[in-house]
Amino acid sequence: MIRCGTDIVEIDRIKAAVTGVTGFFDKVFADCEIEYFRQNGKRYEILAGFYAAKEAFSKYLQTGIRGFSLRDVSVDHEPSGAPFIRFFGEKQEVSLSISHNKTTAIATVCGKSFVGVDKDTAKKMSGLLPVRKSGGNKGDFGRITVVAGSKGMTGAAVLSAYSALRTGSGLVTLLTAESERAIAAAYRAEIMTGGLSCENGIITADAAERVIEFANKSDAVVFGPGLGQSDGVFEVLSRLIREYDGNLVIDADGLNALSKNPEILKDKSCKIILTPHPGEMSRLAKKTIEGIQNDRKNCAEQFAAEYDVTIVLKGEGTVVTAPGEESYINETGNVGMATAGSGDVLSGMIASLAGQGLGAFDAAALGVYLHGLAGDIAADEKTVYGVVAGDIAEKVPDAFKLILFE
């Protein structure tokens, strides 16, 4: 991703400041700039260009002149004469262009987005990416079923399904309460939808047959985002755990249902990935949230070992663990991702990767990493205050780019 900053300055304005404002010259311009100005005929268009470059660099940073002075940003020159930016004396990996006419000077600074990746981790994660075979069709890249949504909560369902598509799945079907199906279908044309028996906008136990029918044609299933809470949700989940033999990602209200009786996990026929936040983990493990947060890695590992599942314990430093695997502590992501729907996006991403052939642990680790990276890219563009869950889903392709071309 490329970021740019541009500024334009009136030459006479800079001349007036230099000649008429005490201390302006030495306060604004660095020694190398002053020397260049003096060696090149004391032409004020030079200083105007330098000033514009300083402002353009601050716009590139998206900070304005805060936390540093104009003098901390300086224009220096290569032996060839090409200008470049120094920031606190350090040469910056940005491109600088300065131009002027008789009245104005303009400068543009362009460079990479500030979202960076640890090269070793990026290389490891890129090695996990599913291969997209030439000539493949949509059926070759994972069929995903998302069981999600209830009255007033269709957004969670769509975010999960759409994120699966954005992560590479060829076919995604969203099964939701029949009363809400039309609403869900209106969000995205790419998502196929199906209705489930429901009462008051929440699926009933009778929905199990259709859920299992679709699941058996799928490479991975997401169960839970926005489903609501009822005995019917628990009954459908219980049957799915016992009768489905693919990859099952349980999230949100699926976890709330599971917390009624986690022992049903011991009767599973499928590979299960649980994606709890600390509150959900507290209900599953019957521990306090404080106890979970004070010992995140061990709590996740103990539960994963007891029930032979993959755990994604969300939060700062998300823990991904499974029996026989070295736990992965994620370093991507930011506080802007603490927003409604962010977890729904993650559930769809993990299911997508599992449906494309990754093992449960690898799908979870890669999904968490890419999810955080997409959130970092979104925050870089919109700030941590402005990120919403849909932004994370939209930035997944850019997250792929960062690790593919690092």
Strand partners, 97: 108
The rounded distance, in Å, linking the Cα atoms of 387 and 377 is: 10
In the chain, the largest separation of any two C-alpha atoms, in whole Å, equals: 86
- pLDDT per residue as tens digits for the range 29-44: 999 999 999 999 999 9
pLDDT value for 61: 84
228-262 burial: b if 16+ Cβ within 10 Å, else e: bebebbbbbbbbbbeebebbbbbbbbbbbbbbeeb
Catalytic positions are: 59, 100
- pLDDT per residue as tens digits for the range 305-347: 999 999 999 999 999 999 999 999 999 999 999 999 999 999 9
Between the CA of residue 42 and those of 18, 35, 39, 45, 348, what are the distances in Å? 11, 10, 7, 9, 61
pLDDT value for 1: 62
Q: Pairing relation of β-strands 202-203 and 198-199?
A: antiparallel
Paired tokens of 188: 């995205």
Q: How would you write the pLDDT of the chain (406 residues) with one tens digit per residue?
A: 678 999 999 999 999 999 999 999 999 999 999 999 999 999 999 999 999 999 999 998 877 777 789 999 999 999 999 999 999 999 998 999 999 999 999 999 998 776 777 888 999 999 999 988 888 899 999 999 999 999 999 999 999 999 999 999 999 999 999 999 999 999 999 999 999 999 999 999 999 999 999 999 999 999 999 999 999 999 999 999 999 999 999 999 999 999 999 999 999 999 999 999 999 999 999 999 999 999 999 999 999 999 999 999 999 999 999 999 999 999 999 999 999 999 999 999 999 999 999 999 999 999 999 999 999 999 988 889 999 999 999 999 999 988 887 6
pLDDT value for 114: 67
CB neighbour list of residue 81: distance below 8 Å, 6 or more residues apart: none
The length of the chain, given as a count of residues: 406
pLDDT value for 132: 87
Tell me how far apart the terminal alpha carbons of the chain are, to the nearest angstrom: 12
